Amino acid sequence: MRCVFASLLGGLKSLAKVRACDNRIGMRESWPHAPPHYFTPHGTCIITAATLHRAPLFGSGAKLDLLRDTTFELARNYALTLQAWAFFSNHYHLVVSFENTAKAHRDLVRHLHRELAIRLNRIDDTPGRRVMYEFWDTR
């Protein structure tokens, strides 16, 4: 059985190409490990970020609440629309609409990661610890 994949959000040329695949295991096109981060105002972006060394730093309900609440707070402050989200103990996924702002998504992510480090390190009494590793985005 054959299927066709196209980027749902458009934007990056490498993602906008239509790809053909089949349902056999292992049939994948190679993807770059860390693609460049592009920003076009008034778009929608999928952002994924992980903790340093994938450590489960948000492993309790209270810490997951911190991750969620900090993300929602900054999205409000940046006038962004969060269309979807998923928070886990060692990473998160966001679908963010930048329709109402000209700010770059990297500004949001840097601010979010800084706030998460400050707040989580205060709870864990580990000042200066690096919390988040890096982020990936798809337009």
Ordered structural domains, the chain, with CATH? 37-138 (3.30.70.1290)
The secondary element (H helix, E strand) that includes residue 131 is none
pLDDT at position 100 is 75
Region 89-98: mean pLDDT is 94
Percent of the chain with pLDDT over 90: 53
CA pair distance 25, 120, nearest whole angstrom: 40
d(CA 77, CA 71): 10
**Which pLDDT value is given to residue 107?**
86
pLDDT one-digit tens code per residue, 7-57 = 333 433 333 333 333 333 343 444 455 555 555 567 888 999 999 999 999
pTM of the entire structure? 0.69
Q: CA-based angle 42:84:6, to the nearest 5?
A: 65
